[in-house]
Amino acid sequence: MSSNYPSDFEQKLGFDVIRQMLSDNCLSTLGRAWVVKMAFSTDASEIHTSLLQTSELKAILQFEEKFPAQDYYDLIPELLRIRIPGTYMETEQLSELKLSVSTIHDLLLFLADRKEKFPALYSLACDSGESITGYSPLATTSLLKSIVMQVERILDDKSEVRDSASQELGRIRKEKSRLLSSVEHKIIQSFKLARQNGWTPDEAEVTIRNGRLVIPMISTHKRKIQGFVHDESATGHTVYVEPAEIFETNNEIRELDYAERREIIRILIEFAAIVRPEIDMLIHAYHFLGKIDFIRAKARFALSINATNPIHHPASAIPLQSLPSGENSEHPAGSFSWHRAIHPLLFLSHQKQKKEITPLDIALNHDQRILIISGPNAGGKSVCLKTVGLVQLMFQSGLLPPVREDSEFCIFHKIFIDIGDEQSIDNDLSTYSSKLLHLKYFIENMDDHSLFLIDEMGTGTDPSLGGAIAEATLEALNARLAMGVVTTHYSNLKLLAAREQGIVNGAMLYDLKKLKPLFQLKIGKPGSSFALEIAQAIGFPNDVLTNAKLKTGKSQLDFDRELQNLEVEKQEITQKNTELKVADDFLAELISKYEKLNADLGAKKKDILDKAREEARQLLDNSNKIIEKTIKEIRESQAEKNRTKEIRVELSGLKEKLLQEPGGEFQNAKIKMQFAKAERPDLKSKIQNPKSEKTHSPAIIPGLIGSEAKPHRFQTYFDDLNTKLTNFSLTLDLRGSRVDEALALLQRYIDDAILCSIHEVQILHGKGNGVLRQVTRDYLRSQKEVKSARDAPLEAGGAGITIVSFR
């Protein structure tokens, strides 16, 4: 049983504003009813289920299509009304029944098709406690489909009862149509006669009065056509006459109108009788529809504030007292640790103004139960306090909190707050008296599962007395093992942490160089109020400030200033160290990849050159055969034997030189071969034109030249690969590209990444309408070298960036 304090607890934290936002996000009164019922809970299982359902629907809104999100009508009042035999729904409500039942049907099928992906929402559809009692989702969809078909048999697309709804209705309407046609024909003839004789006003037309077709006539001529006067104009100049010859026919039509209405009511009563046995099922189905509407509203709100599903322990609902002695400090109920928490309402306000918000990192545990935050006015102390209260209240109300997803939460049974001016004119209480009443209630009602939040503790009375009472109160709350956050300017409270176990200081940092607050909480050291610095920044008179400094004492001012400077400098150094570590890790990874790539390329280069040498050996062997044949022909032609021998020696020497060292020497060998051919034009002609010497071998020397060029091709490949690796960027930005342009860039980029053996890259496509993201994901799924493609963390861009890992 939770007991939050005071009664306007939600209003003080701004939770009522969040309720209204959720209500505005609902599609139906069903969903808005759930918003009203939403409450602070201490049931860990209930909280876990609610957060999981919201997280799943958030994912559906982000990544799924065709989620039913219209026609969320509430027909429960109508269903309850037609429980009585003989009652029926009007056609308007019947149309809404058809549309909303179709939506429920589609929701159940949607979740049934994705039950492995969204188990919490599917369980909601199956849960007999909250959803459709006694029916499985598939059985329910069959019943719902049958009801929709029954309504469609009765109503057309305009929500009017069809002529075919019954034989009698069809007969009545057919007869009515025939009589109306007869009446229309007769009255048009009468009207033409009146017009030709000037008995009607200019530009008058046949009209309807009292549900009857009538002719507008000048009052002085109203007796010219026998009939009945149904009405007259305001001036009395025009009267509306129903010709006597159609009077009886109109009476017949009126009787048919009554008969038609009776038959429609009979059809609707008959339908109500068919539906009546399924009313309980339908009511539960509408409860399910309302719950889905409510969860959808929560998911939409979560998306707007970048909320996540954090770490929370089901066991955290167990009271600390129930654990064996000595285990309290390790029990998850006694600690929480939040990373990058934000005040959701402040975030949305800043977002509209295109301003950044500084996130909050805060942790409380058994050894650090009470946090005393000090610092300058307008430095963010109260915002920190309200952020803690509102975020915790959201979490225990089943709303995804705006924190990083690795944050850890615990469950409190009570949350007490003292925020704002509580002066009461009716009870003749001062602000301080009211604060004392709050503190009294805190001391009397808090336990080790309570959280308290006190803003500007001790203010409102004499500082020495107010500070003493505040100090004693904190000691009492600490003794009760309660957790809390307190803001103050009092020095004695800052010193309390040094001697009281379980209490820790925190400071809101202030930039003394720029004379402005940083809105950052630093736990571990107290902060200064920087009253003199703030006064100076707003242009307070210098002589007055100088006098104030003399009264304060130089040592106190120097202490506060140096303390704050150290904290700011420490933070800057920590940030730079983090950046250097990231850069160092990135460089080490690049070097490792480069060394591996270099080793792989070396091995590939050796294999390629070995193969090239073998090809060259074979090529020269083939060339030798040609030369031998040429020499044979020369010998047969009585050529000089010594010169023949010289040719063979030259060719053999060239072959050995080629095989000794690939690369540069390879090209030298080619040059020497060219010189040799130049020196022996007769040999050159024999080789290049073997047909002139009666040989049937192909022209091998052009092939030899091609083979000699291979090392150059490989060297070009190595140079190109090295250039790609050197210039490769780990991020591809597709924003602003057309789909075809983006796909071409993506294909080229992924090919280069695979070629360079890159392990992971990121594709920046933005959120927009999701087209570029879809194209990117579709292409990546088609690539077998891609191991995974996932969204970046929310703080790094979320769904606007795809992280790609390669095999």
Instruction: Annotate 280-340 with DSSP letters as a single string.
Output: HHHHHHHHHHHHHHHHHHHHHHHHHTT----EE-GGGGS-GGGSPTT-GGG-GGG-EEEEE
Any idea what DSSP says for residue 513?
T
Secondary structure E strands in 89-219? 207-209, 212-218
Which amino acid does the sequence have at 465? L
Considering 153-162, 193-202, 705-714, 786-795, the range whose residues carry the highest mean pLDDT is 153-162
Mean per-residue pLDDT for 492-516?
81
Residue of higher predicted confidence among 315 and 387: 387
Residues 6+ apart with CB under 8 A from 548: 532, 535
**CA separation for the pair 790, 769 (Å, rounded):** 18
Pick from 663, 625, 631, 623: nearest CA to 647? 631
The mean pLDDT of 248-255, rounded to a whole number, is 89
Q: Which residues make Cβ contacts (< 8 Å) with residue 397, sequence separation at least 6?
A: 15, 38, 39, 40, 41
pLDDT interval class at 34 (50, 70, 90) = very high
Q: Note the pLDDT of residue 136.
A: 66
pLDDT band at 300 (very low <50, low <70, confident <90, very high): very high
Section 729-743 average pLDDT:
88
What percent of the chain is predicted at pLDDT more than 90? 43
Of 638 and 778, the structure prediction assigns the larger pLDDT to 778
Is pTM beyond 0.75 here?
Answer: no
Where does the pLDDT of residue 761 fall: very low under 50, low under 70, confident under 90, or very high at 90 and above? very high
Tell me: pLDDT of 296 over 80.
yes
Q: For the chain, what is the mean pLDDT? A: 81
Name, of 211-220, 329-338, 470-479, 509-518, the range with top average pLDDT: 470-479
What pLDDT does residue 81 have? 96
The answer to whether the CB of 407 falls within 8 A of the CB of 310 is yes
Would you place residue 535 in the very low, low, confident or very high pLDDT band (cuts 50, 70, 90)? low
Residue pLDDT, tens place only, 391-426: 999 999 999 999 999 999 999 999 999 987 554 434
CA distance 115 to 470: 54
Question: Which whole number is the average pLDDT over 561-567?
Answer: 54
C-alpha 161, offset from chain centre: 44
End-to-end CA distance of the chain: 53
Q: Indicate the range of 289-293, 359-363, 739-743 predicted with least confidence.
A: 739-743
Give the span between the Cα atoms of 779 and 804, in whole angstroms.
Answer: 12
Q: Is the peptide bond before 6 cis (omega within 30 degrees of 0)?
A: yes
**Residue 510 DSSP class:** E
- For 152-185, how does the pLDDT look when each residue is reduced to its tens digit (9 = 90+)? 999 999 999 999 999 999 999 999 999 989 888 8
The residue type of 208 is I
Range scoring the smallest mean pLDDT among 185-194, 284-293, 544-553: 544-553
Q: What percentage of the chain's residues is helix, strand, coil (to nearest 5)?
A: 60, 15, 25
**DSSP assignment, residue 343?**
-
pLDDT, tens digit, 9 for 90 and up, residues 107-118 = 999 999 999 999
- In this prediction, residues 632-660 reach a mean pLDDT of 57
Q: Of 328-337, 377-386, 389-398, 665-674, which has the strongest mean pLDDT?
A: 389-398
DSSP 34-87: HHHH------HHHHHHHHHHHHHHHHHHHH------S-----HHHHHHTTSTT-
